[in-house]
Chain A
C-alpha cells in the first residue's frame, strides 16, 4: 500500500519538473563547489599574506626611522675631525648602535657593485658628465636598505657619465 503510494507520487511528478530539479541541483552543486574553492584559495592566500604582512609592517616602521639615522650620520660627518672629538666620538657611538640594531633586525644596506646602476635597487637623482674618468661611475648620495630582499628604500645615487674629449 505504502509502496504503491510512493510510486504513484513518483509518477505524478512530470518529467519537466525532474529535469528542472536536476538542473537546479547541478547549479547549486556548482555554486557550492565554487564557493568552497574560493574559500580554500582565500585561506591559502591569507596564510601567505599574513606572513608577508609581518615584513611589510617592519619595512614601514623601519622606513620611518631611516631619516633619523640619516640625520645622525649627517651630524656625525659634519663635525670636523679633531675638533670636539668627544662629541664626535659619542655621536659615532649613537650611530653605531642604531646601525647594529638595524643589522640585527635583518636590515642590510644596498651596495653599488662595479659602478653599475640597477633600477631595482638604485634611484638616480643626479646625472653629470665628466671627461676625467675612465668609465661611468655611480656614487651613493643616500644609503638604501633591504629587509629579506624587500626594498625598504632604494639607494639614491648620482651617475657620472664619461664623455670623450671633444664631445
Chain B
C-alpha cells in the first residue's frame, strides 16, 4: 500500500511527514533540512527553484522570486513572469511538488496521496485553491485539515475524551490562535483569531536594531548601511534569541565588524534575557488581544480551556510561555517540536485515512526491568525496561561454590540494583546439577514475555538438559502509579544503591579470592616453601574473621590477600618454569570470578 504523507504548507516554511510503525516522522528535504522555505523562484535561464535555493538568489531576482504565496491563496492574485501568469495554486504546487519528490527520494517509493493543512480561518475558496495546488503537483489530496486540528492530533488529544483546547501558533511570520472543541473524534473550530504579520522574525529584528543602536552610540558608526555587516548581525541576532530561551544571558561578539581609517572596529554586547524580553515585550503582548478575542467569540472564560498547545518555533521563548500561563493559570503543552507539530498531525490523519493506523499492530513495552538475584544479593537485569514485547532473552549463569547441586532462581522486577529493593515475582529451584567446581556448570536462564505480558522464566542445566520453569501471571500488571513510583524511587536512591552494589561486588570479589587462595594452599603444598603456605593460610583465616563492614575495609583485605597469593604463585611459577610442571594455575580460577563473563547465581545450601 503506498504511503500517504502529511504536509504543513506554511507561509514561511513547509514540512512534510509520514507515519511509520505507528509513529509520525518528519521527512528531511534533498538539502538535508527538515524545514523547506515556502519560496519559489524563476531564474533568468528558465529554471524553477524551490526552497532554500530560491531564497539564496532572492535579492538578485526579486521580481521573479515569490515568498509567502499562502497569503494570496483563494484570491485572483496572479504572479506574472515573462508574460505568463501563474495563479497562487500553481506557485504552491511547485512547493508541494518539491516536498513530494523529496519524500519519494527519501522513502524510495512513489507518493500519490496527501493530507494538507490550512489555517482554521481559511474559507472555502482558500481550501479549494489548496486542494487544486495539490492536484497540480500530482497529489491526490485526500483531505484538507485545519492546522490546529493537526496539532491536537499530534498530541493525541482525540483519544482523551471531550475537551476544549486552545492552540497558540506563533510561527516565523504569522500568529494564529484557535479554539477547538473535541468530542467523539470530531473537531469543531469554535473561534479563530490572530495577527497575520507577527512572528519570530520580528524578534530577530529587535535584537538587530538594538545592536546597531549600541554600536552607533559607542563608535559613532551606522552599520545599517553595510550589507555584509547586516548579514552578520542578522545571524548573530537569531543565535542570541535562541540562546536566550535556555540561558539568562548571552554574549554577542562580532570582531572586525567594520573598519575606519583608525583601524578595525569590534562589536561586543552582552544581552540578558531580561533586556531581550523588555525590548520585545510589545511583540509578545500583541498576542494577548487575539487570545481574548477568540475566547469572547467562543463565549468562553479562560478557565473553560482544558488544554493549551504551543505550536510554532517562536513559542520556545520563555516570555511567550509565561504570557500563556498567566492568562490560563496552567502549564501549556509544549513537548512536541513546535516547528513540526502540524505536519506530524497531518501525517497521523493521513495514516488514519489510509487505514494504516488501524492495521498497526499495537506493540507494548515492559514498563520495568526483569531479572534474577545473583551472588551477594545483586539484581541482574535480563530484560531492560521499555523493551518491546513479545521478547525472549537468555543468559548463562554458573554456581558459586564447589559441588553445588542446585541453584535458586529468584525472579525480580524493578530498577534498583540490589535484589531486596525490587519486587519479587517468584522463585524456583533447579536441582540435579552434577557436582563440579564452582564456575564450571552452565545454567541457561531464559526470560520470555509473551504478547499478553505474561512472563515465563526457565532455567536449564546445559550439561544434563534438566529444566525448571515458572510462569508469572500478572507480573507486569502493576498500576501506572506503582510503576512510576518504582522508577522515581530508583532515581532517588541511585547514589546509595550504586554504593551498595559496589560493596556487594567487592564482597563477591573477596569471596572469590578466598576460594582461590584456599585452593592454592592445597595445590601448592609441597611445591613451595611451607612458610609461604602457612602465611597464606593465616591470612585467609584472618580475613575470614575480619571486619568487612565497609567497602574500603573489604578492598584493603582484598589487597592483603592478593599480596599473600602473589608471593605463593610467584614462587610456584618460578619453580614450574624450571620443571615444566603443569601445576594448577591459580590465575586460571580467577577467570571464573564474578568479573568475568559468567555470573554466579545466588544459591542456597540445601
Residues of A within 8 A of B (CB): 31, 34-35, 38-39, 41-42, 45, 52, 56, 71, 74-75, 78, 117, 119-120, 122-127, 141-142, 150-151, 154, 156, 158-159
Contact = CB atoms under 8 A, between A and B. Distances in A.
Q: Is the interface of B mostly helix, strand, loop or mixed?
A: mixed
Interface in B27-44: 31-32, 41, 43
Nearest to B21: A38
Contacts of B574: none
A126 B359 contact: no
A41 B108 contact: yes
A84 to B, nearest CB: 12
A150 B31 CA distance: 8
A122 B43 CA distance: 14
Contact of B231 (A34, A52, A156): A156
B77 interface: no
Contacts of A125: 59, 227-228, 231
Nearest to B263: A78
B57 interface: yes
B160 interface: no
Contacts of A122: 56-57
B1 A124 contact: no
B460 to A, nearest CB: 30
B136 interface: no
A52 B108 CA distance: 16
Interface of B: 1, 20-21, 31-32, 41, 43, 49, 53-54, 56-60, 106-108, 227-228, 231, 255-256, 259, 263-264, 359, 361
B53 A119 contact: yes
Contacts of B263: 78
Contact of A78 (B43, B58, B264, B359): B264
A124 B255 contact: no
Contacts of B1: 34
Given A34-B359, A38-B20, A151-B31, A124 B56 contact: yes
B60 A159 contact: yes
A122 B52 CA distance: 11
Contacts of A52: 32
B256 A117 contact: no
A122 B41 CA distance: 15
B20 A126 contact: no
Given A122-B56, A126-B227, A158-B227, 7 more contacts: A31-B359, A119-B41, A119-B49, A127-B59, A142-B231, A150-B32, A156-B228
B59 A35 contact: no
5 nearest A-B residue pairs (beta carbon): A74-B256, A123-B56, A119-B57, A124-B60, A119-B53
A117 B31 contact: no
Contacts of A158: 227
Nearest to A141: B228
Contacts of A126: 59, 227-228
B256 A71 contact: yes
24 contacts: A31-B359, A34-B359, A41-B107, A45-B107, A52-B32, A71-B256, A74-B256, A74-B264, A78-B256, A78-B264, A119-B43, A119-B49, A119-B56, A119-B57, A124-B58, A124-B59, A125-B227, A127-B59, A127-B60, A142-B228, A142-B231, A154-B56, A156-B231, A158-B227
A120 B1 CA distance: 35
A139 B407 CA distance: 79
A35 B361 contact: yes
Contacts of A39: 21
Given A56-B32, A75-B255, A119 B54 contact: yes
Nearest to A32: B361
B57 A117 contact: yes
A35 B363 CA distance: 12
Contacts of A35: 361
Contacts of A42: 20-21
Scoring B60, B107, B259 by chain A CB atoms within 10 A of each residue's CB, the highest score goes to: B60
A158 B231 CA distance: 12
A159 B20 CA distance: 45
Interface centre among A35, A119, A125, A159 (most CB of B within 10 A): A119
A156 B263 CA distance: 24
A54 to B, nearest CB: 13
A89 B58 CA distance: 40
A41 B1 CA distance: 13
Nearest to A30: B359
A154 B31 CA distance: 12
A116 to B, nearest CB: 10
A38 B25 CA distance: 14
A123 B228 CA distance: 12
B600 to A, nearest CB: 37
A110 to B, nearest CB: 12
Contact of A117 (B20, B54, B60, B107): B60
Nearest to A150: B32
Contacts of A141: 228
Nearest to A136: B60
B228 A78 contact: no
A119 B59 CA distance: 11
Contacts of B57: 117, 119, 122-124
A34 B57 CA distance: 44
A52 B105 CA distance: 14
Contacts of B106: 45
B264 A31 contact: no
A150 B106 CA distance: 16
A125 B107 CA distance: 35
Nearest to B53: A119
Contacts of B231: 125, 142, 156
Contacts of B31: 151
